[in-house]
Amino acid sequence: MASVNIAGREVELDEDGFMVNPDDWTEDCAKYFASGEGINELNDDHWKVIHYLRDYYKQFQIAPMIRKLCKETGCSLKYIYELFPSGPAKGSCKLAGLPKPTGCV
């Protein structure tokens, strides 16, 4: 476990760079993670996806299924990969401060 300083606050990360505590998330965290996931600048669509993921997580304590994410944000999977080159799990979930996806990855 490592801890990094994001906009003046200490944030704990696991070895894959995911936030250990999703409640510590701020928009600065998303900006901080962006470059590591191949994103130069966060645009409105990035934020739409990030906020959708956070809202869903707050409500259900789980990340939405890909299909649901695409439907609700109106972004095709192809477009999600254009926004987040490392994909919805490693990319957008990390930026949104969600816990690391698990299972038979």
Partner 1 sequence: MAFEPVREMKKLNYEELRIYSDAELKNYTEEELKSFKCKYEIPKLDELEKGPWPSFVSDAKQEALRRRKLSDDQILTHRDAVEDLLGQLELSFDEGETHWKHGGIVGVFGYGGGVIGRYSDLAEKYPSIAMFHTIRVNQPASKFYSTDFLKTICDMWEYRGSGLMNLHGSTGDLVLLGTTTEQLEPIFYELGHVLDTDIGGSGSNLRTPACCIGKARCEYACYDTQALCYELTNYYQDELHRPAFPYKFKFKFDGCPNGCVASIARSDMSFIGTWRDDIRIDQDAVKAYIAGDIVPNAGAHKGRDWGKFDIQKEVIDLCPSKCMSLEGDQLVIDNSECVRCMHCINTMPKALKPGVDTGISILLGAKAPILDGAQMATLMIPFMKAEAPYDNIKEFVEKVWEFWMEEGKNRERLGELMQRVTLPKFIETIGLPPAPQMVKAPRSNPYIFWKEEDVKGGWNRDINDYRSRHKR
Residues taking part in catalysis: 104
DSSP for 55-93, written as a single string: HHHHHHSSPPPHHHHHHHHT--HHHHHHHSTTHIIIIIH
Q: Among 4, 20, 42, 89, which residue interacts with partner 1 (rule: CB under 8 A)?
A: 89
Element (H, E) at 95: helix 93-95
Cα separations in angstroms, 95 against 38, 58: 12, 15
CB of 71 to partner 1, least distance (A): 10
Query: Binding to partner 1 by residue 36, rule CB under 8 A?
Result: no
Q: Among 44, 61, 74, 103, which residue interacts with partner 1 (rule: CB under 8 A)?
A: 103
Element (H, E) at 13: strand 9-13
Query: Binding to partner 1 by residue 7, rule CB under 8 A?
Result: no
Q: Among 5, 8, 10, 16, which residue interacts with partner 1 (rule: CB under 8 A)?
A: 16
| Distance from C-alpha of 52 to C-alpha of 66, rounded to nearest angstrom | 12
Query: Binding to partner 1 by residue 100, rule CB under 8 A?
Result: yes
Where along the sequence are the contacts to partner 1 (CB under 8 A)? 15-16, 18, 38, 65-67, 77-78, 81, 85-90, 94, 100-105
